[in-house]
Structure 1
Amino acid sequence: MVSAWGGYVFIINLIPLHVFVLLLMQRYSKRVYIAYSTFYIVGLILSMQIPFVGFQPIRTSEHMAAAGVFALLQAYAFLQYLRDKLTKQEFQTLFFLGVSLAAGIVFLTVIYLTYTGYIAPWSGRFYSLWDTGYAKIHIPIIASVSEHQPTTWVSFFFDLHILVCTFPAGLWFCIKNINDERVFVALYAISAVYFAGVMVRLMLTLTPVVCCMLSAIAFSNVFEHYLGDDMKRENPPIEDSSDEDGKSSGNLYDKAGKVKKPVSEQEKTEEGLGPNIKSIVTMLMLMLLMMFAVHCTWVTSNAYSSPSVVLASYNHDGTRNILDDFREAYYWLRQNTDEHARVMSWWDYGYQIAGMANRTTLVDNNTWNNSHIALVGKAMSSNESAAYEIMRSLDVDYVLIIFGGVIGYSGDDINKFLWMVRIAEGEHPKDIRESDYFTPQGEFRVDKAGSQTLLNCLMYKMSYYRFGEMQLDFRTPPGFDRTRNAEIGNKDIKFKHLEEAFTSEHWLVRIYKVKPLDNREALDHKPRVTNIVPKQKYLSKKVGSM
């Protein structure tokens, strides 16, 4: 798990939490001591064999909870060992002092090692889990990722379906009959619900406990309750009635003094409404499970199995249109650009350009280099002249953007533009300010009422170049953006330093070529070279070598 996913830290902290709660509930046992000690030591050694992890398990704050619980468990086990050798009063005093001293030493040691720099502090990703507004203010590059957005109720129902309702019932059944194992399930469920509500991507941690554990417990208890009597009736318990035979014949009254009903009459009364209710509930549960199976099949085939590079849309008659603009654009880059060309785009498309177009990108999905991504965001947010200076310094040959105004694609770069501004503002606050891209009323608009800073920035001009001449529908004016439902405010867009190189069929992907410097500008930018080889001599050498 450590070698496959960085989210292993969630499990590494969940298991110590389970052991700590068991200690608080006075459920300590030798099984717990042996299991956790073996898990921590072996897991620590094996996880450090992963090159990417290295010494992080002993040098990062995210792993200190596991180490602290391990030390606390050793102290607790030692006190339990002394329990039989001391009086009750002595043991209580020693236990209180020992546990308090062990917890204090562990806490102060972690603080000292963190202060001296031996243990790395908590990362921004973990701060954003506890404070949902932390990333947006301090680390906008983390908040800009769609997977890091808070989970909506629509997403919960889309992924879990009816299990959203049965999951709390299963949790209640677990807590009702608590034991050591069910304590872990309850802690897992509560913590996973919180984390899944903070980030969409952490639904991965919630689905196992919801689908495979608690909802299964809820359905199992319902079926056991409504089908249990029938099962018992098919296999009735064998009773030893040898001593009661003589008495039963004369015992015609019950404890309340009322006349007992014959067995046949009791069965008739139970066959009235009871079996019907059982059948209705059973059929209802089976229908819910069948609907859940159908929903899961549809979600898997439509939402989680379609590649994001190829998009699909449906007409009113149910026919499907395939939008292959991404592959079309990447193929054009691969075939029509120099193999050493550098492409500037937002980091979302870095891996796709490198993998499918085989071209060098400035930033990609490895989002650790915040300053470099901020520089790209500054270029996209600046006017053409300032952006050209940045692109020349980065040796950019082509600029690729995603524009969804023609087909109504909401995941384009204009909708992501504010995150580019925020990330750039974090590194270049003097040049880029987010407030400059809003109207005086605080609105982000692309029409005539929009901010002049926005209407003249590079991203806006590249997105809407020649778009003001296009009329998509007889009911809308030329330059009507279907994604933002607005007529663009700047239709007379001209470039000085860029030229349009490629636009895909549905205008989803647009590529611009960065023009080279003019002769006069090139002399102003480059230092004068004194030892220039004469042209005739250079040509003769070149011809001779051929």
Structure 2
Amino acid sequence: MATTAYPVPANLSPATISNTASLLRIVAFFFISGAAISSRLFAVINFESIIHEFDPWFNYRATRVLASKGFYEFWNWFDPTAWYPLGRVVGGTIYPGLMATSGVIYYFLQAINLPVDIRNICVLLAPGFSALTAWATYMFTVEMKDPSAGLLAAIFIGVAPGYISRSVAGSYDNEAIAIFLLMFTFYAWIKALKEGSAFFGTIAAVFYFYMVAAWGGYAFITNMIPLHALVLMLMGRFSNRLYVAYSSWYAIGTLASMQVPFVGFQPVRTSEHMAALGVFGLLQLVAFADLVRSHVPSKQFQSLLRTSVVVVGLAGFGAIVGLTFAGWIAPWTGRFYSLWDTGYAKKYIPIIASVSEHQPTAWPSFFMDLHILMFLFPAGVLYCFRELRDEHVFVIIYAAVGSYFAGVMVRLMLTLTPCICVAAACALSELMNTYITPEQPAKPADEADAKADAKKSKQPEVETSIFGT
């Protein structure tokens, strides 16, 4: 029988052991956060606290207006120096989430009598949010496996070059807060799906709204969650939990996202959002079919179901095609077309192809941005295939979609990095659970049997010698 290699003292209660483990996790996460923040402060320590690159400088100027004149003036601000001599109406042409975040932090520090300059807040915002990203990744990975894997994922995302490159001090761009919002929205979605909770569905919708206000890459969430719901339905895993989680997320999140002036009615008028709307409608049909099935005999239900599916499917498809030709639903934008046809932008929209971030990713970039995680990533996906619960299906879809997009556009390596950290953490945690066990194995049964046989084989020889004597 196996015994514990390092026995726990008998006088410790289970509550004490659990609390000690929680304390150790908190201490470990404290050091992880310190490593994540300090690894992004190289430029500030060596030189000075300054904003880098062109877009961050514009974001900084907009934030300075918000901090000095208030949110209302910022919303109606006309910047004559942008696109000179034309100028720019800033409030309706930007994603205001980044500026609003810095403004809230600035006003909070002012309220508690800490007069910190708005420039320092903008410079240090990305390193600060990197610690929050590590925490969100930890929470997401705990839903996939356990707290040990969560700590590994937090370590990986804290020091992964694919994320550091967009979150260093002074890189005051939308991605500074977007990856935290991405991972926390996914965490809230998985939590809502596992528990069938409208509360967590609402939390996912609120952070989705925050993501919409912060970064144009919110379309990744807009299509990932519906794709996950669709795959679960195709796998025959429709449940009330899925219905409650998706309906609460889509209804509240879509209405909230339409409050951002730069987005407006795009969630119901552009092709990028039609998948989410279609899955929402399909979910209602499946739920209605389940309700009818419980009240109608099975033979009549089958014929009714076939007729309803054909009629509703043709009507929905015809409505989308008709509204698209009528101009009500806008087609895919050039940037999204270039994801499916990598030569599209070079032929028709050269200004998109001229941006270095929109070029296809070179193979060495995967290793430079991910290092050893690239080799653990397939093992983590294999672990998800082996478990294959609803949340693991999400990681598998995320891995496939994220890998493709990261291959066709180098800037989308940023969205793939969290998934790779989660999958690699699951793989390494499973490996450590297998080979680093607190139990000491018992002696093999074969060895004990061999000793018994040897003892028996010696006994007749002794008896013979005695009788012979």
TM-score, length of structure 2 as denominator length: 0.49
Largest Rg, 1 or 2: 1
More strand per residue: 1 or 2?
1
